[in-house]
A and B are shown apart, each in its own frame.
Chain A
Amino acid sequence: MKYITEFRQKDVSANLARAIAQEVQPDRTYRIMEFCGGHTHAIFRYGVQDLMPANFEFIHGPGCPVCVLPIRRLDDAIELAENHDVILCSYGDMMRVPGTKQNSLLKAKARGADVRMVYSTLDALKIAADNPTKQVVFFAIGFETTTPPTAVAVKKAKEAGLSNFSVFSNHVLTPAAVGAILDTPGTPDEPPVELDGFLGPSHVSTIIGTRPYEAAAQTYKKPVVITGFEPLDVMMAALMIVRQINEGRHEVENQYTRVVTADGNKKAQALVAEVFELRDSFEWRGLGQIPNSALKLRDSFADFDAEKRFDIAPKQSREVKSCECPAILRGTKGPLDCKLFGKTCTPETPYGSCMVSSEGACAAYYSYGRFRADQSEGKVA
């Protein structure tokens, strides 16, 4: 598979591992947050941490739009499906996430709600075109990577006069989240996360470019390396960030140059700007309210905004007590620190989004890495 298998070569990984081991300074730890859930997944799936020196730690970040969606928004989506006689279209990732009282889209479907899994917003548009007498709502989630496809769909719906189509927008923005993590003050129970650098998101950056991270790197004086998803990309980025830390630099470097440029995808950015605008504030699971961190449809597309079209009841949504997802998303605790992990909370019976999303730290750890519990000294990864 071109541009895929070349970046998974074992012998190159061994060389990179040796290079990293040479360059880490033995008297310190390197705590690097991989922001993106996709990196968490890749690290566990390929066992990348086995190739890293012991004083290099991956801290798993909140870059999984499934994990950071607050329960209230998921409950709203389930309500749309159950009480408003709509066809609710959703990406596969959200189907099993538990909302309040362990309800989920999949469970709503089992009870008769018309919930359909789609691979693309184009599928949702087709469902709307094929069912003109029914309301079709697309449950939009995702960071900047996934937002342009929603923008294209909304524009197409407007052009085609698909008046039965609407979008429930939960699109969120990455740089705001990076800032929020670094800004989170500690509490006695939960000291602030100590980070030495970030592995920046791969595909968000193909859209937004590398420039948006420069402010964060300067303000917080932490190096950022935009990293590809393949395991060799992760290791090369680890080497780059180790070098920055050793040399006292805090720059934005681009490891993923084959698809990421400084400016990003201007066409996609323009489409998003045409259809969406910033919300003043949006609640992120685990990070609380973050200003200017999410998107809603502009007034010119208000006809396609599910929040305006439907009267969604305000709710009392509740997190499960003892669920440590919020702290895990902030990187201050690990899956093993959660009382529920592996006992009541498992992939079969997930209590929090960190366990349901295949990229959540808990799911990744449980499915790929829990054999390490015997060998670990309490390390998260």
Chain B
Amino acid sequence: MTGKTNKACIEMAHGGGGRTMDRLITDIFRKHLDNEYLSQANDGALLPKTSGRLVMATDGHVISPLFFPGGNIGSLAIHGTVNDVAMMGATPLYISASFILEEGFPLDDLEEIVRSMGDAARQANVSVVTGDTKVVEKGKGDGVFISTTGVGVIEDGLAIGGDKAVPGQAILINGTVGDHGVAILSKRENLEFETEIVSDSAALNGLVSDMLAAAPSISVLRDPTRGGLAATLNEIAGQSGVGMLIEEEKIPLKPAVSGACELLGLDPLNIANEGKLVCICNAEDADKLLSVMHAHPLGKEASIIGKVTQDPNNMVRMTTMFGGTRMIDWLAGEQLPRIC
């Protein structure tokens, strides 16, 4: 995506507030993200009155490489923030997007990123209503950093939170783990490998909405991003003061992801996902929820992976496919490939 000479690139003037910046906003941002709020073109977006409790979430996106199988930093940004709001049980409505662009960044790449954001937003039924652009000198940014904030509305009566899990409840996931992380890794220097694994980056608000309609008493929703499923389960266990017992055989896993992890000595449970959610619900709702998830394009491989237990040590245990038991711990830092 880079390396062509004489291509139009970001210059300092694009962040200067003058005509050059205005043209950039029109030609790229407004062209792909346009909606009735963005077109107000004021310092802030004037939004309609909303009844109901508000939910707000924010994210910074610094991913490298910027383009990966299955998406780019733009689509990831929209999906990530939509999902954060959706995990609260809220309907995401409005997004703000702030761009920090590095001098020299190709305009074609920027347009591709913003186009993806527009597509992602339309698919998720959200609008990017306001934004900001700044430019930093060459060497002071990684191409582009994007910050997004999302606002949504939550219906009365829903009580969803990481501290709401109770022993006896069922734990579900909507599909295969490790896809996103492996897709990214395959592009990383010194690890390059060929694979058809594509990031699972997707907006989950449609799926969540179907799930809440079927079972409004859902206790926990969380997307296992950085740190993977292991981190998310441990976080929830800690917040709720419970333990968990997971069955390894029930965790959906693509064979290629398994193969890549084996080759590099990584555990799929520690690898990031961008289109997955963990749901904890009452045991009696589990089967119904599973059917609802299976009926949705983003839940075809949904599975009940375990249950919440009583445990003063808040440990997440797993019965292995082999028949023994082990803990699922969360990692100290980033998982590194190993030779041993």
Q: How far is the CA of A226 from the CA of B339 in the complex (A)?
A: 20
A119-B323 contact, Cβ under 8 Å, with A358-B338, A371-B313: no
Interface residues of A in 298-326 (CB under 8 A from B): none
Does the CB pair A48–B324 fall under 8 Å? yes
Q: Kindly list chain B residues whose C-beta atoms are within 8 Å of the C-beta of A95.
A: 336
Does the CB pair A91–B322 fall under 8 Å? no
Does the CB pair B259–A92 fall under 8 Å? no
B190, B322, B340: the one within 8 Å of A123 (CB)? B190
Tell yes or no: A14 within 8 A of B by CB.
yes
Does the CB pair B340–A65 fall under 8 Å? yes
> Can you offer 22 A-B residue contacts whose CB atoms are under 8 A?
A13-B322, A14-B323, A47-B323, A47-B324, A51-B322, A51-B324, A91-B338, A92-B265, A92-B338, A92-B339, A93-B338, A96-B333, A96-B336, A120-B190, A142-B340, A346-B332, A350-B332, A358-B265, A358-B338, A368-B327, A369-B326, A371-B327
Does the CB pair A1–B258 fall under 8 Å? yes
Tell yes or no: B255 within 8 A of A by CB.
yes
Does the CB pair B191–A47 fall under 8 Å? no
A14, A51, A142, A367: the one within 8 Å of B339 (CB)? A142
Interface residues of B in 300-340 (CB under 8 A from A): 313, 315, 317, 319-327, 329, 331-333, 336-340
Q: How far is the CA of A120 from the CA of B338 in the complex (A)?
A: 11
- Other than A46-B324, A348-B332, A371-B313, give 17 A-B pairs with Cβ distance below 8 A: A1-B259, A8-B321, A47-B324, A49-B324, A50-B324, A92-B339, A95-B336, A96-B336, A117-B190, A119-B190, A119-B191, A142-B340, A146-B339, A231-B324, A358-B265, A369-B327, A374-B313
Does the CB pair B190–A47 fall under 8 Å? no
Q: How far is the CA of A348 from the CA of B322 in the complex (A)?
A: 28
Does the CB pair A46–B338 fall under 8 Å? no
Tell yes or no: B264 within 8 A of A by CB.
yes
Q: How far is the CA of A84 from the CA of B327 in the complex (A)?
A: 42
Does the CB pair A45–B326 fall under 8 Å? yes
Interface residues of A in 315-368 (CB under 8 A from B): 346-350, 357-359, 366-368
Interchain nearest-CB distance for A366 vs B (Å): 7
Q: Kindly list chain A residues whose C-beta atoms are within 8 Å of the C-beta of B327.
A: 367-371
Does the CB pair B331–A347 fall under 8 Å? yes
Q: Kindly list chain A residues whose C-beta atoms are within 8 Å of the C-beta of B337.
A: 92, 117, 119
Give a binary string over B81-102; 1 marks a CB under 8 Å from any A CB, 0 the rest.
0000000000000000000000
Q: How far is the CA of A330 from the CA of B327 in the complex (A)?
A: 25
Give a binary string over A27-62; 1 marks a CB under 8 Å from any B CB, 0 the rest.
000000000011000001111111100000000000
Interface of B is mostly: loop
Interface residues of A in 67-114 (CB under 8 A from B): 91-93, 95-96
Q: Kindly list chain A residues whose C-beta atoms are within 8 Å of the C-beta of B22.
A: none
Q: Kindly list chain A residues whose C-beta atoms are within 8 Å of the C-beta of B265.
A: 92, 358
Does the CB pair A47–B320 fall under 8 Å? yes
Q: How far is the CA of A4 from the CA of B326 in the complex (A)?
A: 20
Closest residue of chain A to B329, judged by CB? A367
Query: How many chain-A residues does the 8 Å CB contact rule pick out?
Result: 49
Q: Kindly list chain B residues whose C-beta atoms are within 8 Å of the C-beta of A49.
A: 324
Interchain nearest-CB distance for B230 vs A (Å): 10
Q: How far is the CA of A117 from the CA of B324 in the complex (A)?
A: 34
Q: Kindly list chain A residues whose C-beta atoms are within 8 Å of the C-beta of B262.
A: 1, 4
Interchain nearest-CB distance for A3 vs B (Å): 11
Tell yes or no: A296 within 8 A of B by CB.
no
Q: How far is the CA of A118 from the CA of B192 in the complex (A)?
A: 11
Tell yes or no: A199 within 8 A of B by CB.
no
Q: Kindly list chain A residues whose C-beta atoms are within 8 Å of the C-beta of B255.
A: 1
Q: Kindly list chain B residues whose C-beta atoms are within 8 Å of the C-beta of A252.
A: none
Q: How far is the CA of A359 from the CA of B340 in the complex (A)?
A: 7
Q: How far is the CA of A1 from the CA of B260 in the complex (A)?
A: 11
Q: How far is the CA of A46 from the CA of B258 in the complex (A)?
A: 15
The residues of B with any CB-CB pair to A shorter than 8 Å are: 190-191, 255, 258-259, 262, 264-265, 313, 315, 317, 319-327, 329, 331-333, 336-340
B317, B324, B332: the one within 8 Å of A371 (CB)? B317
Closest residue of chain B to A124, judged by CB? B190
Give a binary string over A215-244; 1 marks a CB under 8 Å from any B CB, 0 the rest.
000000000000000010000000000000
B323, B329, B331: the one within 8 Å of A13 (CB)? B323
Q: How far is the CA of A142 from the CA of B258 in the complex (A)?
A: 25
Does the CB pair A119–B313 fall under 8 Å? no
Closest residue of chain A to B333, judged by CB? A96
Tell yes or no: A177 within 8 A of B by CB.
no
Q: Kindly list chain B residues whose C-beta atoms are within 8 Å of the C-beta of A14.
A: 323
Q: How far is the CA of A214 from the CA of B27 in the complex (A)?
A: 76
A96, A119, A357, A367: the one within 8 Å of B340 (CB)? A357
Closest residue of chain B to A4, judged by CB? B262
B322, B329, B339: the one within 8 Å of A10 (CB)? B322
Q: Kindly list chain A residues whose C-beta atoms are within 8 Å of the C-beta of B325.
A: 47, 50
Closest residue of chain A to B312, judged by CB? A374
A66-B324 contact, Cβ under 8 Å, with A117-B190, A347-B331, A371-B313: no
Q: Kindly list chain B residues whose C-beta atoms are within 8 Å of the C-beta of A146.
A: 339
Interface residues of A in 123-137 (CB under 8 A from B): 123
Q: Kindly list chain A residues whose C-beta atoms are within 8 Å of the C-beta of B258.
A: 1
Q: Kindly list chain B residues whose C-beta atoms are within 8 Å of the C-beta of A64.
A: 340
Q: How far is the CA of A92 from the CA of B262 in the complex (A)?
A: 15
Does the CB pair A91–B313 fall under 8 Å? no
Q: How far is the CA of A38 from the CA of B265 in the complex (A)?
A: 11
Q: Kindly list chain B residues whose C-beta atoms are within 8 Å of the C-beta of A4.
A: 262
Q: How far is the CA of A346 from the CA of B255 in the complex (A)?
A: 32
A50-B340 contact, Cβ under 8 Å, with A1-B262, A119-B190: no
Tell yes or no: A171 within 8 A of B by CB.
no
Does the CB pair A44–B326 fall under 8 Å? yes
Q: Kindly list chain B residues whose C-beta atoms are within 8 Å of the C-beta of A47.
A: 319-320, 322-326
Q: How far is the CA of A207 from the CA of B317 in the complex (A)?
A: 37
Tell yes or no: A116 within 8 A of B by CB.
yes
Q: Kindly list chain B residues whose C-beta atoms are within 8 Å of the C-beta of A370.
A: 315, 327
Interchain nearest-CB distance for B306 vs A (Å): 15
A37-B340 contact, Cβ under 8 Å, with A348-B332, A366-B329: yes
Does the CB pair B329–A358 fall under 8 Å? no
Q: Kindly list chain B residues whose C-beta atoms are within 8 Å of the C-beta of A368.
A: 326-327, 329
Q: How far is the CA of A371 from the CA of B316 in the complex (A)?
A: 9
Interchain nearest-CB distance for A379 vs B (Å): 15
